[in-house]
Structure 1
């Protein structure tokens, strides 16, 4: 059987443009592979060089900073990618300016939280939360240029840039960990490295954008709507860590962080791989879009089961080798992986509503699912601690799938 026949059979099986995925998916997977390896390196350093209590405090700081980031324009990059895919190139420049203005609100809120902890004598939490927020704001603002690259299908450049940024921050983190276990110094090193690297990578790209291309004000407005929809989503994604820290302590949060670490990385790889079809979906008509998504959901869900099963089998060996102090988290990590089976369907259905720019429907979906997840987390952690947080993560994904499916069928 020749190469052409294999490609055609694969396209019939997966109902996907294999040539497109093969060309662009290589760079997406290569980038995620690099990020995963570097993530392993950072995780190993944290697991073996930082005491569990300190690591729990570190994760709490990052969670508070991320929670404050709910006020950022978190949905702008997704809207920007679709705009650039339709040749509205200069939209990225206006999006960055808009994000800068919103960042002032985030930094103002971070300053108030920092003052609160400073007043109570906790310098580490005070300064740590502020500088971690500065880092997040820099990524969400300067990092918008990444949406331009993806919209232009420049996956190779996007992958190289993201890999350089990840490598730089990994080196800064590991180096600081090898020198000190002071959380504040670790955060400062990461913040400085992130900002400098982002500026060095983004400026050459932004300066070469064709200024004669039009701006999509509709996409900017859609980006604002997506950001508003994401507020509760951000809260739901961080409240588990904050609740665990407040109710169970820093050591419990450290254990939970390692329980979900590798499954979340696996999920990120899967989402990125599926995400390479988003720019192409932006140019599909309604009937073709629905037909394509329906056929992909089942096939990709079955395909997702393969890495999930492999991880469940290998998890004990991975923890024993890389995270020896957290081996009591193996079962919870395996359990958490089950929720990833809903990820392909959730990602594809989210793509459907985003491409259609169904603002009202997205509001309903995201608000309902976020409230549901928050309720699950509050009840789960209150009654069952870490186990409850893991179960809430699983049922939260299932709940999102049920809500997506309801509105998808409703919009026939």
Structure 2
């Protein structure tokens, strides 16, 4: 509960600071510019796969099992691989420049230059999570979130209507924070320790499975931008704000569970039942928020110009409720070097989401993206449930999970 309270506090602080900053940004940028702003971060999200996203789970559980030196090698690999992503983002920016959108191009080129330090060193967060240093992690990340929000408000105030300063604030703060935390953790690691056997391999291979998840998270936004308009992407980004907050809160709960579960040989049936009851409570709370809170809060926060996004936001919150089972119970999968489990929950639901987005967004626009997301989260819960049933089968070998 102590760890959860720090995680929830951090999530509320980060999202609260982000909401406060967006109150200013959506007024300083028109809907088209805000769509371009979201497009920059969508491209960065797609490039994030090169930072070896699976390494974070590997570091958390390996450190929790008493292998802190896994961090050193994992961080080095993530940073080196992320330089490829940064080069790709910058190269795409040059392509956009050639086609005449100088402002968007400059934002992409500069973002690509900051990308390796902003995304390649994020493994320090996983290290603190594995050490169960929830309070320290929350204080450091919370301070960065507040600073980013203040600088973002300052940037759009000093350069109103300009995309580049607004797009680079978060990446700049994240880069500085990552470098400082990475150097601090390296000083704490004993030089003679070695990485846990199999952890780096798991991190690389789970990243390969995560490709589908990264593409799935960005496909709907890319399609909205490319087939409809920047304004459509701006509206969808606003519609996802409250659902993303709900999802972050549940993921915070999952992250708190992972270090403890990493030390258990196997979760008991009692623990599964307790988690199921927790999921029902979370889902009921989100349904209440979708019905009673979203209709008045979204237009209040993002202005009446985005009031047409209320229904989409409500449906997306309901999709988070449908996926709450998967988010919570996947803590069991991500607490072990379980490549089969990662593949089961990452691959097929995301492939279905990508195909649904391609089929539904061109004719139905934002509601097509909402439908694809709902399908994905329902399928994700089904995939996690089927894997959990296999895991609880009598005679199921735990060794297979660590293959």
1:86 positional shift: 0.9
Range moving further from structure 2, 341-350 or 97-106:
341-350
1:259 positional shift: 0.7
Deviations for 1:387-410, whole angstroms, at most 9, x for unmatched residues?
111121112100111222223323
Deviations for 1:236-263, whole angstroms, at most 9, x for unmatched residues?
0001111001111011111111011111
2:248 maps to: 268
21, 40, 61: which one aligns with 2:40: 61
1:8 maps to: none
252, 259, 263: which one aligns with 1:279: 259
Query: Are 1:226 and 2:206 counterparts?
Result: yes
Change (3 A) 1:177 1:206: same
| Number of residue equivalences | 390
1:76 positional shift: 0.6
TM-score by length of structure 1 reads 0.89
Aligned pairs for 1:292-371 within 5 A: 292-324=271-303, 325-371=305-351
Change (3 A) 1:143 1:316: same
Change (3 A) 1:217 1:392: same
65, 89, 114: which one aligns with 1:110: 89
Q: Which runs of 5+ in 2 are unaligned?
A: 394-403
Whether the 8 Å contact between 1:308 and 1:340 is mirrored in structure 2 is no
Quote the Cα distance in structure 2 between the aligned partners of 1:372 and 1:200: 40
131, 147, 150: which one aligns with 2:110: 131
Quote the Cα distance in structure 2 between the aligned partners of 1:310 and 1:189: 31
158, 166, 174: which one aligns with 2:153: 174
Quote the Cα distance in structure 1 between the aligned partners of 2:345 and 2:286: 28
185, 189, 193: which one aligns with 2:169: 189
2:400 maps to: none
Change (3 A) 1:361 1:274: closer
1:374 maps to: 354
Query: Are 1:46 and 2:25 counterparts?
Result: yes
CA RMSD, 1 decimal: 1.9
TM-score by length of structure 2 reads 0.91
Quote the Cα distance in structure 1 between the aligned partners of 2:146 and 2:218: 25
2:401 maps to: none
